[in-house]
Amino acid sequence: MKINFDVIYEELIRPAIEQAGLEPIRADEEKAGGMIHKPMFERLILCEYAVADLTTANANVFYELGVRHAARPYKTILIFNAKMQLPFDLNMLRALPYNLDNNGRLTDKDRDFGNLKMKLEQIIAETYIDSPLFQLFKDELKPQELDSKKTDIFREQVSYSQQVKEKLKDARKKGKEAVKEIEKELGEINSVESGILIDLFLSYRATKAWDEMIEMVDKMPRPLSERVMMQEQLAFALNRNGQGEKAEETLLQVIEKSGPSSETYGLLGRVYKDQWEKADKEGDFIMAAALLDKAVDTYTKGFETDWRDAYPGVNAVTLMELKDTPDPRQEKLLPIVTYAVERKVAHGNPDYWDYATLVELAVLSNNKSEVIKWLGKALMSIREPWEPETTARNIRLIKTAREKRGEDAAWLSQIEEQLLKKAQ
């Protein structure tokens, strides 16, 4: 079962906390690639009340719960998906179940909300030990008294973090220079919270500030800059900045150190795809043919790494279309990629790329009614201007390849135009 924990937070945890008269703060907002930072520990230890979701038995969550139970004897609530079997060591702890259907959606939202709200009100009104460590050593262990100044500073930091993120959200609409002004205000990057740094980094991506993204990685603390996500995004920026060879080197190092993933192979496929286009424009047709094959094979590897991730899959079948003779593998892969995207859309919370992928797949299948159906949804889901630009570029490539083969491709011009209008 695939679970969207953002939805669980927004529809269950946040409203229950607010209705109980408390202010919700997400501890996992300060995590990058699964790594725990100082602000994360502050949230775990300094918050008077905590709600921990144990669903999926994630090792990081168990570690974080252990930190909380070692530091705080009181006021920690555990919740979990009722379909999950809690590990033996946690069975002794009182945890509130919530109910999900097979698509990962809350099935009894009102009841689960009521139970969590009531539990929160209970721990606000009463003080009892819920940490098994303090229960076992209640005479030997004494909770450390926390300096009120430290908790006040913590609250100020959380408020400051939210303010910066709101400013970045507004700056992304104004452009690169507005984002750069916020970076100047932050001062020494090395001392800024990881959550803010990641938001700043992705704000530069949203404004196509490739130079600034590349420079930022060098300024970040090494434990953060060396994470897979940051290295992947660095490669993305390098490639967009015309440094394809460095991007390729970066991604190959990620695969060597951390193993293959659909995301890494997808980005690497894009590097080879851009190199193919460059060789093709320069008339180096032998190199272009070799790079096209390399891009197809890389995207296909990405899709085979995780069949649920349609991004490398759709790129593989699109590039197969661009060969002088369409790749025979395309016929087999098209329905599989389409099914992968349709399942994600059916599970809820689809984004631009889900709809754009269905547009592209429908184009490849020459299904005009499906193209129209998904194009409207894609246009309404655009977040950043480079998104429709990328899709329009792929449609144009398909159109050009079909025209060269003497096939009817005139109808694709209108699709390309609609996407480019939204990219302006």
Q: Quick check: helix, strand or coil at residue 79?
A: strand
Q: What angle do CA 372, 375, 381 make, to 5 degrees?
A: 150
Cβ of 92: how many Cβ atoms within 10 Å?
10
Between the alpha carbon of residue 186 and those of residues 127, 159, 168, the distances in Å are 40, 15, 12
Per-residue pLDDT, 190: 80
pLDDT digits (tens, 9 = 90+) for 119-163: 999 988 887 788 888 888 877 777 665 554 444 444 555 565 778
Separation CA 196–CA 192 (nearest Å):
7
Torsion sign across C-alpha atoms 131, 133, 139, 140: negative
Q: Quick check: helix, strand or coil at residue 243?
A: coil
Separation CA 185–CA 49 (nearest Å):
32
Specify the long-range contacts of residues 215-224, CB closer than 8 Å, at least 24 apart.
Answer: 216/183, 216/189, 219/189, 219/190, 220/189, 220/190, 221/190, 221/194, 223/35, 224/32, 224/35, 224/37, 224/194, 224/197, 224/198
Contact indicator for 27, 63 with CB cutoff of 8 Å: no
Per-residue pLDDT, 149: 46
Separation CA 293–CA 304 (nearest Å):
16
Residues of the chain predicted below pLDDT 50: 30-36, 148-154
Per-residue pLDDT, 67: 87
Contact indicator for 33, 57 with CB cutoff of 8 Å: no
Provide the H-helix boundaries in 72-209. 88-91, 109-125, 132-136, 148-174, 176-186, 194-206
Per-residue pLDDT, 121: 92
* Residue ranges with strand state E in 26-152: 50-53, 76-81, 95-98
Does the global pTM surpass 0.85? no
| Torsion of Cα atoms, 313 then 316 then 322 then 325, to 10° | -110
Maximum Cα interatomic distance, the chain, rounded to a whole number of Å: 85
Separation CA 155–CA 42 (nearest Å):
10
Cβ of 400: how many Cβ atoms within 10 Å?
14
Contact indicator for 168, 182 with CB cutoff of 8 Å: yes
Per-residue pLDDT, 189: 83
285 Cβ partners below 8 Å, 6+ apart? 279
pLDDT digits (tens, 9 = 90+) for 203-241: 999 899 999 999 999 998 888 888 888 999 999 999 999
Cβ of 346: how many Cβ atoms within 10 Å?
9
Cβ of 41: how many Cβ atoms within 10 Å?
16
Q: Of all residues in the chain, what percent are helix, strand and coil, respectively (each to 5)?
A: 70, 5, 25
Separation CA 404–CA 111 (nearest Å):
61
Burial code (b: 16+ CB inside 10 Å, e: under 16) for 195-231 equals: bbbbbbbbbbbbbbbbebbbebbeebeeebbebbbbb
Between the alpha carbon of residue 213 and those of residues 137, 203, 418, the distances in Å are 50, 9, 30
Per-residue pLDDT, 267: 96
Contact indicator for 218, 190 with CB cutoff of 8 Å: no
